[in-house]
Amino acid sequence: MQTHLLEIAGAEPKAEDGSPLDALIEFYQAFNAGDLHGLEAVWLGGEAPSMDNPIGGIRRGWGEIAEGYSKLFNGPANLHVTFHDFTSQGGNDWHLFVGRERGSCVTAAERLEIAFRTTRWFVRQDNGWRQLHHHGSVEDPDMLRDYQRLIFGR
């Protein structure tokens, strides 16, 4: 396995060393597959985790986060994103990935190229790395408007 990946879509080979990078790869593998159980295995359980992005809004606790993913995965659009242009830093019990996502949002009638700024914060718990927080934002207001229209069907 490479020690520094340039992008992550979830299909990259993992080091299988229990690293935060393996957890990040598992996140993208589950997200791009629309696998809610896979995401649950990567996110911290309970009320501690949080998420803030233009589609899901602010969500606190795994229950609210799971509800948002479920709506997204069962909605009219299929998503696929790749994490790239990122930095990675951490300590013994925390790890932060800050970068960008690019990808596509596809419905039966339309395809939209999407781009986000993304932060994913992982903590070590239960002998593994679990995502504690995600923040996503958009630089292009027109892309955001079109993305929300495709996701929400408006």
The band of 148, judged by pLDDT with boundaries at 50, 70 and 90, is very high
- Tell me the pTM: 0.95
* Per-residue model confidence (pLDDT) at position 127: 85
Is the pLDDT at 96 greater than 70? The verdict is yes
User: Which whole number is the average pLDDT over 36-40?
Assistant: 98
**Listed residue (132, 134, 130) closest to 18, CA to CA:** 130
User: Which whole number is the average pLDDT over 112-133?
Assistant: 96
Is the pLDDT at 154 greater than 70? The verdict is no
Q: State pLDDT tens for residues 80-90.
A: 999 999 999 99
User: Which whole number is the average pLDDT over 131-142?
Assistant: 97
Is the pLDDT at 55 greater than 60? The verdict is yes
Is the pLDDT at 145 greater than 90? The verdict is yes
* Per-residue model confidence (pLDDT) at position 22: 97
Is the pLDDT at 27 greater than 90? The verdict is yes
Domains of the chain: 7-152 (3.10.450.50)
Q: Which residue has the tokens 């996110």?
A: 43
* Per-residue model confidence (pLDDT) at position 146: 96
